[in-house]
Amino acid sequence: MQTAQVFSFHGGIHPEENKTQSLQLPLGKPSLPKELILPLSQHIGQASVPLVAIGDQVLKGAPIAANNGLLSSHLHAPTSGTITAIESRPIAHPSGLSDLCIVLQPDGKETWTELKPLPNWQQLDATEVISHLADMGIVGMGGAGFPTQVKLQGAHKKPLSHFIINAAECEPYITSDDTLIREKTRELVLGIELFQHLVQAEQVTIGIEDNKPTAIAALNKTLTECNSKIQLVVVPTKYPSGGERQLIQLLTGQEVPSGQYPADIGILCQNVGTCVAGYEAVYLGKPLISRITTLTGKALNAPQNVDVLLGTPVAHLLAYADLQEKQLNRLIIGGPMMGYTLDSAAVPIVKTTNCILAANKKELPAPAPEQACIRCGMCEQACPASLLPQQLLWFSKSQELEKAEHYNLFDCIECGACSYVCPSSIPLVQYYRHTKSSIRDAREAAVKSDLAKQRFEARKARQDAEAAEKEAKRLARQQASASKAVQTKKTAPATKTTEKSALNASNSEAAPQINDTTKKLKVDVAIGKSKLKKLQKQLVEAQEDERLEDISALQLHVSEQEKALVELETELAKAVKANPTKKPSDTPDNSVEKAKAPANDALKKAKIDAAIAKAAVKKVEKALKKAEELQAPEVDAIRQQLADAKKRADELEKVLDNPSPSTPPTEQKPAVSAAQLDLASQVKKEKIAVALAKAKINKLNKRLASSPEDAETVSKDIEAAQQQLVQAESLLATLIESQHNSQETS
Amino acid sequence: MALLRITSPHTQRAGRRTSWVMQMVIYATLPGIIVQTWLFGWGTVINLAIAGVAALLSEAAILAMRRRPIRFFLQDYSALLTAVLLGIALPPTVPWWVTVTAVSFAIVFAKQIYGGLGNNPFNPAMVGYAIVLVSFPVPMSQWLGVSSVVASGEMLSFSQSLQAIFHQLPVIDSYTMATPLDGFKHKELLDSQSAFETLPALQAASIDSWLWVNLAYLMGGLALLWLRIITWHTPAALLGALLVMSGLFYVFDTSNAASPFFHLTTGAAMFGAFFIATDPVSSCTSNRGKLIYGAGIGILIYIIRTWGGYPDGVAFGVLLMNFAAPLIDYYTQPRTYGHKKAKTGLKIGGDH
Amino acid sequence: MTEYLLILVSTILVNNFVLVQFLGLCPFMGVSGKLETSIGMAMATTFVLTLSSLCSYLTYTYILQPFGLEYLQTISFILVIAVVVQFTEMVVHKTSPLLYRVLGIFLPLITTNCAVLGVALQNISKQNGFVESILYGFGAAVGFSFVLILFSAMRERINVADVPVVFRGSAIGMITAGLMALAFMGFTALVQI
Amino acid sequence: MFTVLLAIGILVVLSLIFGGILGYAKVRFHVEGDPIVDQIDALLPQTQCGQCGHPGCRPYAEAISNGEAINHCPPGGQATIQALADLLDVEAIPLDGDHGTETAQRVAVIREDECIGCTKCIQACPVDAILGAAKQMHTVIADECTGCDLCVEPCPVDCIDMVDVGITAKNWSWDKPQGVAAQSLNIIATDRSTEVSQ
C-alpha cells in the first residue's frame, strides 16, 4: 500500500518531536466546566450572528449563532443549559484581545436536541449534503478554520486529480490527530469516503508522517477491513510537512501557484479531524461541538489528549491535566512552532484548537536577545517556500514594503523554520507578520482613498449638476414666459425677428424633455434606494428571525440592488451632464438635430434599460438556481421575479426594435416612450415589491403554521407585511394608470 | 500568572548562536595557523595577538562612542574573527603598526561606520588588507621563506620575530624571499619552464610549503562545510573559476602560463575560497548568487595575478565582488514555491 | 582590434572615470539613491558621452584644426555638450516621460558632468582617431554606468543599515565610494594606455 | 585681428547650427500635458478635509505641481510627505504644524439621541458619508468616513464625536520587533533617535 512516490520540498527542519508525553494516557474526558464560552468568530470570515438571547434555554446541539456571510459558519450549543451572557470575553487570539462570546451555563443534563442525520446521503444531491455540513457548523479543524462547505464547493472548480487527507501533524508536541486516528479509525474512513463522494474524487490519499506507527497500523488495518481503495502514504518526518502546500508537494510533486488555492490545480486537502466531524454530522446528525485537543508540556503532571467540548475554558483543562502552577512559564495554543501565547487561561477552546502547551522555563526558554543578521543563510536553507528570509528581514526592518512584496513575502507561510534556525535569534516571523499587515493596511488605505475620491467627485458632480439644473430651470422659465409673450403678440409666419424666439422656444421644449428624463432617473434612483433599504432591512430581519435559509438569498438581492442603483446613478450623472452641454450647440437651423438629441437620449436609455433588464434576468435566474439548490422557500417569488424580468426585457427589446429603424424621429414620440419606459420600470419595480411582500406573507404564514407558540408576533408581522402589500399594490395601480394616461396622450 | 507573550516559534535550535558560528570559523583557521607557524615562524602568532587586541579595542571604542552595550557586541566574536583573518593574511614580519592600521581601519571604516556586524557591505578583513597593501607596499611584500631555501638557512626565532615586528631586524633580508606567486609574476622574460628551474621562489621546497598551507586551510574549510556553517557554492565556484581560467590559459599558452595546480595551491587560494569569500555579510544571498559571486572572484583573482599589478588578487577580487553583490542579489532570487519563474530585478508586480 | 579592446578595458576598469580619475562625481553621488534612477541615468549618460565625444571630435578635427583655432576647444566643446544634452533631454521627454521624471534635474545636469568634457579633452590630448574617440567615450560611459549601477544597488543596502547619524547620506556614500576606489586599485597596471 | 574675427565667426556659425538643431528638436519632440498632477493626487490620502487650505485633494495636487510645499497634508502625515518627496525628487520636510497635526485614523460618530436632524453635517461631508433627512436622525457610514472633521464644526448641537478607530481581533497585528539587543538590554541608543522619526 505504501507504493506511492513521495516527493520532497525545499528546506524544512527537524525540531525535537516531544510527542510521546501526551500519548502515555488514554483519551481523557474532562467534566463539564462551570460555564462554556463560545466566541462568535471561530472560523475565518465574519463573526456569526447570535440566535439566542440571554436567559434562553438551549439544548445540546441546538444552533446558537448563524452563518453571516460567505466564509462564516454556524455555531451550536455544546451542551444543554442557559445562556447567561453575550458579551466580550478574552478569546484565544495572539493579541490577547477580547471578542464577543456567548456564555452558556450547563445544566448538567446534556439533553440533546433532535438530531437530524442524513442516512440516505448517497442518494441525495451533493449540494444538499454539503449544506447539511454547513448547517452542522463544520470548519477545517487543521488550522485556519476555513468553512468546509466553501472548500468542498470550491473543489468543483476543476476536476479533482488528487484528494488528500492531511494526517501529517508535523508540529512538535501535538498528538491530537494521532489520537483521533487511533480512536476513531472507522469513523475517519467513513468520513473520508463521504467527502470523496461529495467531491467525486477518484483517488484519495492519506498523508501521514512516519513518526505515528500506531496510527498507521490502525489505519492500515481498518482500510484492509473495509476493503477501501484509500491510499495511505507515509512521508518522512520533517517540519512543516503538514502544511497544506508542503503536503501537496510531498504527495503530488505539484506546487500550488502563488495566491491560488489547491482547488485551482485540482487538488483538495482535508484534515482528518474535519473528516471525522463530517462523518458525525452526516451519519449521526451531530453538529461540531467537541474536538480532540492535546494537553501537553512539562508544567502538566498528566499530559494527555482530551475530547473536549468547544467553549471549555483552558484553565479547566489545565486543572484536569494537573497543572503545576509554579512551573508554568509559557502557555501556548497550538504547537511550539506556529502556536501563539496566551495571557490568561480563561480563554475557551474553539473549533481550531488542537493543542494547549503549558511549558516550563527549561522546556521553552525565553529567546536570546536579538543579534544582528549576518546573512548566514541558514534560514534560506530551512525555508520550505524557497524564500530569502534574510532579504525579507532587511526589507521589513527598513519598511520597504514594495520590495518585500517583490521578494514574495506573501508566500511566507509563517512556519517559523527560519526563526528556529536563526543563529542571531531574530524573531523573523514577527517581522514578517508585521510587514504583511503593514502592506495589507496600505492596500486597504489605498482602496479607501480611492473610494473617498470617487465619492467626493460624485458629490461634486452632483452639486454641479444641481446648480446647473437650477440655472437651467430658471432660464427655461424666463424664456418660456418670454416666448409666450412673443407668440401672443406675433402670430404671423416666421420672420427674421422670430428666429430668435424660435430658438428660445425650441430650447424651452428640449430642456424640459431632458429635464424629464433626469427627473425620472432621479425618481428611479430614489426608488432603487428605498428598495435597497427595504432589502437590507429584510436581511437584518432574516438574521434576527433566524431564517437561516433566507440570509444568503437576501444577501444576493441586496448586492444586486446595490449594483442596479450604482448603474442608475451613473446614468443620472450622465444625463445631468448631458443637459447643460447640449444647450449652447442648439441653433434654429438644426431643429431636427435638436429633436433627435432627446430621441437619441431616449433610445440610449432604452438600450441601457434593456441591458439592465437582461442583467436582471440573468441575476434572478442565478438566484433561482441557488434557491433551488438550497431549497429555499422563496423559490416561487424568485420565479415570479424571473418571469417579470423576462417579460420586461422582452418588452424593452421590442420597444428598442421599434423606434430604431424609424430614422426621422418625430419630436415627441421617443421622449414619451422614454417616459413610458420609466413608468414601466417603476411599475415593474413595484410589481417586484408586491411579489416580495406576498412571498413574505406566505413565509410568515408558513411560520405561523409551524410554530404556533409565537403566533402573536408572527401575525403582527403578517399584518405589517399585508399593509406593505396593500401600499405597494395601490402604488402599482396608480403607476399603471399613469402609464396608460401617458400612452393615451402620446 | 506572569506569562511570556512572544511570537512563534517558541523553540530554537540549541547552541547554534552567531557567536558559536564565529568561534567555529576561528577554530577552523587553526590548522592553517599551525602550518604557517611551523613553516614561517612565530610571526603569524604575534600578528594575531596584536591584531586581536587592536580589533577589540577599536570595536569597543566605537561602541562606547555610539553608546552601545560593549560586552554584548564584543561577545559575538566578529571583531576577533576579522582580526584573525587579517593576522593570517599579513606577512609574518610586518611591523606592528601596519597590523594595527589594517585592523583598526577594517573595524572602524569597513565595519562600525556602516553600523557594525551585519551591515558592512565590504569584507572588513580585506578592506584592512587592501589599505595597507596600497599604503605600505614594501613591508607588505616581505614574506618569509621556508628555512631550506632562504639565504640564512634557518627559521626566524621567536625573539627575532618580536624584534622584526616591534623594532627592526637588519638581517631580515636573509630570511625573506618572494612568494611563489610573486616570483612567477616577476619572471620577466623567462618562459615558465625555465622560471621554475631557476627562480628561488619557484623551487619545490617553496612551492610545497605553500601547498601545505593551502591544504591546511582546505581542511579547515571542509570542516566548516561539514558543520554547515558555509555552503559549498562560493568556494566551489571560486576554485572552479580559477581552475577553468588557469586551465584555459595554460592549454592556450603552456610556455608562459602557470598550471592550474600552481594557481590553486599557492597564495591565498584556499584561504580566500573558504574563509574570505564565504563571509556571509558581504557576499551574495541566494545559492545562485553565491555561485556567480564565487566565480567572479575566481576570475578576478586570475586576472589580477596574471596581468595586474599585485602578485595575489584575493583581496581585490573579494572587494570588487562585494561591490557587485547587491546588484547580483537583485537578479538571482530563487524561485519561490508556487511561482513559475524566479523574480528578477526590481519590477514590482506578479510573475513575468 | 586588440587595441580597441584595450581601450575599452582601460576606460571601463583600469582608468575608470569615476573611481580612478574621480570625474563625474556629482551625478555619481546624486543619482545613485535608487537603482531604477541610476539605470536611467546610466543610459542617458552613455548616450550623451558617446555622442558628445563623437561631435567634439568632429568639431575639433574639421572645424577648429583647419582654421588653427585649437585654443577654442574648451568653449566649443562646452557648446557641443550643451546641445547634445538638450537634445537628449527632449528625446527622453518625448519617448519616456517616466524616465524623464525620474531623472529630473539630473538630466540637464549631465551638461556639468565633468566626465563629458574630460572625455572630449582627453580624446584630443591623447590624439585619438575617429573610432578611438567614439570607443573612448563609449568606454568611459560604460565604466561610469557600471559603477553607478553597482553603487546604487549597494547604496540601497547602506541606506537601511544602522549607520551612525553623522555619517548618514552623502558621507557614508563618499566613504563607500572611497572603498570602492580602493577595490578598483586592484586593476592597476592591468593595461597600460 | 583676422584670427579673432575668424574665431568669433566660427563660434557664431557653430552656435547657429546647433541652435537650428535644437529648434527643430523642440518642434519634433514637443510634449504636451503634465501628468504629474494625477500622480500627486494618487499619493494624497483623499480625505478631502481641506486642512491644506484647498477644497479637496486634487486642488492641492495641482497646487503642489505649481510649486506649493508638500507638507500641508496632516491626514497623510510624514508617510505622504515622504512619498511626495520621492515622486518629486525633493527633500522630505517635516509636516507644517500650521495646517494641523498627524492623528490616528478616526471616524465621526453622531450621538444619535442628540441629533436634531438639521442636515448641516450632511452638506458639510465631502464624501457623502452621512445619512439622514431633515428632521430625521442622522448617522455616519463608518466605512465611508474619512475622518476629516468637517462635519464637527457645522453641527449646532455638537453631537458629533471623532472617535479613534479601535483595535479589534480582526485588525490587530504584531508589533515590529525592537531590533538588535534592544529587548533584553534596554539600551539607550542615542544616535538612533533621529532614525525613528525618519
- Check: CB of residue A124 under 8 Å from CB of residue A71: no
> Does the distance separating the beta carbons of A397 and C157 come in below 8 Å?
no
C-alpha cell at A34: 462551570
The yes-or-no verdict on residue A255 having pLDDT over 60 is yes
Closest approach of chain D CAs to the CA of B57, in angstroms?
A: 20
For residue B123, what pLDDT band results from cuts at 50, 70 and 90? Answer: very high
Residue with the larger pLDDT of the pair A746 and A265: A265
* Dist CA A422 CA A432 (whole Å): 14
B283 contacts B328 by C-beta, under 8 angstroms: no
Q: Which helix (H) or strand (E) element contains residue A209?
A: strand A204-209
Could you write out the DSSP letters of every residue in A328-343? --EEEES-TTT-EE-S
Q: Cβ of D158: how many Cβ atoms within 10 Å? A: 10
Q: Residue D191 is nearest to which of B66, B69, B72, comparing CB atoms?
A: B66
Contact A384, A417 (CB under 8 A): yes
Q: What is the predicted pLDDT for the residue at B221? A: 95
Least confident span in A540-554, B21-35, B203-217, C34-48 = A540-554
Measured CA to CA, the distance from residue A707 to residue A709 in angstroms comes to 5
Q: What is the dihedral of CA C70, C73, C79, C82, to 10 degrees?
A: 150
Beta bridge partners of A100: A88
Chain A: closest CA distance from residue D20 (Å): 44
Which of D175, D180, D183 to probe the B interface (max B CBs under 10 A)? D180
Whether the complex's predicted ipTM is more than 0.90 is answered with no
- CA angle, corner B80, sides to B77 and B84, nearest 5? 135
Mean pLDDT of B328-340: 87
Confidence (pLDDT) at B35: 93
* pLDDT for B352 beyond 50: no
Spell out which residues of chain C touch residue D65, defining contact as CB-CB under 8 Å: none
- Among C160, C162, C163, C168, the strongest candidate for a mutation testing the A interface, having the largest count of A CBs within 10 A, is C160
Q: Is D104 on the interface with A (CB under 8 A)?
A: no
**B40 vs D173, higher pLDDT:** B40
φ/ψ of residue A651, rounded to 5: -55, -50
Q: Which of B113, B327, B279 is nearest to C178 (CA)?
A: B113
CA atoms within 13 A on the CB side of A282: 28
Contact (CB<8Å) A328/B1: yes
Interface of A with C (CB under 8 A): 394, 397-398, 400
Domain that holds residue C48: 34-158
Helix (H), strand (E), coil (C) string for chain D: CHHHHHHHHHHHHHHHHHHHHHHHHHHHCCCCCCCHHHHHHHHCCCCCCCCCCCCCHHHHHHHHHCCCCCCCCCCCHHHHHHHHHHHHCCCCCCCCHHHCCCCCCEEEEECCCCCCCCCHHHHHCCCCCEECCCCCCCEECCCCCCCCCCCCCCCCCCCEEEEECCCCCCCCCCCCCCCCCHHHHCCCCHHHHHHHHC
Q: How far is D167 from chain C (nearest CA, A)?
A: 30
Query: Domain limits of chain B?
Result: 18-177, 186-346
The C-alpha of C161 sits at a distance from chain A's nearest C-alpha, in angstroms, of 9
pLDDT, average across residues D134-150: 84
Instruction: Report the mean per-residue pLDDT for chain C.
Output: 85
* CB within 8 Å of C25: residues ≥ 6 apart: C18, C177
Phi, psi of A308 (to 5 degrees): -125, 145
Chains in contact with chain B (at least 3 beta-carbon pairs closer than 8 A): A, C, D
> Which residues of D define the annotated binding site?
49, 52, 57, 73, 115, 118, 121, 125, 145, 148, 151, 155
B67 to A426, B79, B96, B116, B186: CA distances (angstroms): 22, 17, 29, 13, 50
The answer to whether the Cβ–Cβ distance between B69 and D174 falls below 8 Å is no
Q: Is-contact B155 B147, C-beta < 8 A?
A: yes
pLDDT classification of B83: cutoffs 50, 70, 90? very high
Quick check: B334 and A381 CB within 8 A? no
Work out the average pLDDT over A59-66: 89
Computed from CA positions of residues A256, A261, A266, A272, in that sequence, does the dihedral angle turn out positive or negative? positive
With 80 as the cut, is the pLDDT of residue A738 above it?
no
Which residues in chain B have Cβ-Cβ distances shorter than 8 Å to D181?
Answer: 68-69, 72-73
Instruction: Return the higher-pLDDT residue of B6 and A475.
Output: A475
Strand A81-90 with A57-58, pairing: antiparallel
CA distance C184 to B81: 25
Residue from A566, A515, A527, A32 nearest A309 by CA: A32
Question: D193 pLDDT exceeds 50?
Answer: no
Question: Between the CA of residue A391 and those of A132, A400, A432, B323, what are the distances in Å?
Answer: 47, 11, 11, 17
What's the full length of chain C, in residues? 193
- The conformation of residue A60, written as its DSSP 8-state character, comes to B
Q: Which of B114, B317, B319 sits opposite C161 (nearest CB)?
A: B114
Percent of chain B with pLDDT over 70: 96
Q: Is residue C109 part of a domain?
A: yes
Q: Report pLDDT for A683.
A: 65
Residues of A at the annotated binding site for [4Fe-4S] cluster? Answer: 373, 376, 379, 383, 412, 415, 418, 422
Residue A608 burial (CB < 10 Å; 0-12/13-18/19+)? middle
**Model confidence at B219, in pLDDT bands (50, 70, 90)?**
very high
Q: Chains contacting D with at least 3 CB pairs below 8 Å?
A: A, B, C
- Cell numbers standing for residue C22: 574621480
Does D113 contact B at CB distance below 8 Å? no
Question: What's the half-sphere exposure (Cβ side, CA atoms, 13 Å) at A170?
Answer: 26
Question: Considering only CA atoms, which of C55, C30, C32, C39 is closest in space to residue C137?
Answer: C55
Q: Does residue B84 surpass a pLDDT of 90?
A: yes
DSSP A633: T
Q: How far apart are CA D100 and CA C172, in angstroms?
A: 35
Digit-coded pLDDT (tens) for B240-274: 999 999 999 999 888 888 888 999 998 889 999 99
Q: Decide if A427 and B7 are in contact by the 8 Å CB cutoff.
A: yes
pLDDT at residue A704 in the model: 65
Interface of B with C (CB under 8 A): 66, 109-110, 113-116, 119, 121-122, 127, 130-131, 134, 300, 303-304, 307-310, 313, 315-317, 319-320, 322-327, 329-330, 346
| Binding residue ranges of D for [4Fe-4S] cluster | 49, 52, 57, 73, 115, 118, 121, 125, 145, 148, 151, 155
CB contact under 8 A, B16 and A421: yes
Residue B298 has pLDDT above 80, yes or no: yes
Q: Report if residue C8 sits inside a domain.
A: no
Over range B130-150, report the average pLDDT.
85
Do A576 and A584 meet the contact criterion of CB atoms below 8 Å apart?
Answer: no
Range from B261-270, B314-323, D96-105 carrying the lowest mean pLDDT: D96-105
> Domain D36-99 - what CATH class?
mainly alpha
- Contact check, Cβ <8 Å, C157/A400: no
What structural domains and CATH numbers belong to chain A? 21-331 (3.40.50.11540), 367-489 (1.10.1060), 491-745 (no CATH)
CA closest to A391 among chain C residues: C157
Residue carrying the nine cell digits 429584510 = A538
Locate A459 and state its grid cell: 458629490
Q: Which residue, B191, B198, B304, is CA-closest to B258?
A: B191
User: C187 lies in a domain?
Assistant: no
Size of interface A-B (CB pairs under 8 A): 179
pLDDT bucket at B102, cuts 50 / 70 / 90: very high
Q: Mind listing the pLDDT tens digit for each residue in A194-213? A: 888 888 888 899 999 988 99
Average pLDDT in chain B: 87
Please report all neighbours of C, defined by 3+ CB atom pairs within 8 A. A, B, D
Task: Give the separation between CA A592 and CA A664, rounded to whole angstroms.
Answer: 8
Instruction: Kindly give, in sequence order, each residue whose CB lies less than 8 Å from that of residue A70, ignoring residues fewer than 6 positions away.
Output: A45, A150
Whether the CB-CB separation of A512 and A520 falls below 8 Å is answered with: no
How far A463 CA lies from chain D's nearest CA (Å)? 10
Residue A591 pLDDT more than 60? no
Q: Which chain C residues are within 8 Å of B299, Cβ to Cβ?
A: none
**Measured distance CA(C41)–CA(C33) in Å, rounded:** 11
- In contact, A276 and A183? CB cutoff 8 Å: no
Query: A155, A139, A159: which is closest to A147 by C-alpha?
Result: A139
In chain D, domain spans: 36-99, 104-166
Element (H, E) at A619: helix A591-630
**Interface residue ranges in chain C relative to chain B, Cβ cutoff 8 Å:** 35-36, 149-151, 153-154, 156-158, 161-164, 167, 172, 175-176, 179-180, 182-191
User: Nearest Cβ partner of B11 from A15, A341, A387?
Assistant: A15
CA distance C83 to C77: 10
Average pLDDT over residues A307-318: 92
Q: Among A478-482, A618-622, C71-75, where is mean pLDDT lowest?
A: A618-622
Predicted confidence (pLDDT) at residue D182 exceeds the cutoff of 60: no
pLDDT attached to residue B113:
92
Does residue C153 lie in a domain region?
yes
Distances from the Cα of B92 to the Cα of B31, B44, B86, B163, B176, angstroms: 16, 5, 11, 12, 10
Q: Is residue D107 within 8 Å of residue D139, measured between CB atoms?
A: no
Chain C neighbors of A400, CB-CB under 8 A: 160
Distance CA B173, CA B164 (A): 11
Average pLDDT over residues A641-652: 67
Cα three-residue angle A222-A226-A228, rounded to 5 degrees: 100
Give me the number of domains chain C comprises: 1
Write out pLDDT tens, residues C80-92: 888 888 888 888 7
- Residue C98 C-alpha, separation from nearest chain B C-alpha, in angstroms: 14
DSSP chain C: -HHHHHHHHIIIIIT-TTTTS--SHHHHHHSTTSHHHHHHHHHHHHHHHHHHHHHHHHHIIIIIHHHT-GGGHHHHHHHHHHHHHHHHHHHHHHH-HHHHHHHTTHHHHGGG-HHHHHHHHHHHHTT--HHHHHHHHHHHHHHHHHHHHHHHHHHHHHHTS---GGGTTHHHHHHHHHHHHHHHGGGTTSS--
pLDDT score, position D33: 59
For residue A384, list chain B residues with Cβ-Cβ distance below 8 A: 337
pLDDT range class, residue A313, cuts 50, 70, 90: very high
Looking at the complex, does the CB of residue C153 fall below 8 Å from at least one CB of chain A?
Answer: no
- Which is higher by pLDDT, D190 or C134? C134
Q: Tens of pLDDT along C143-184?
A: 999 999 999 989 888 888 888 888 888 889 999 999 999 999
Can you tell me the distance from the alpha carbon of A284 to that of A185, in angstroms, rounded to the nearest whole number? 16
Nearest chain D residue to A399 by CA distance is D176
User: Which pLDDT belongs to residue B346?
Assistant: 58
| pLDDT for residue B200 | 77
Q: Is A93 in Cβ contact with D172 (below 8 Å)?
A: yes
Question: Which of D131, D176, D185, D186 is the best residue to mutate to test the A interface, defined by the most A CB atoms within 10 Å of its own CB?
Answer: D176
Per CATH, which fold does D104-166 belong to? Answer: Alpha-Beta Plaits (3.30.70)
d(CA A67, CA A70): 8
pLDDT of residue B343: 75
Taking residues D45-67, what's their average pLDDT? Answer: 84
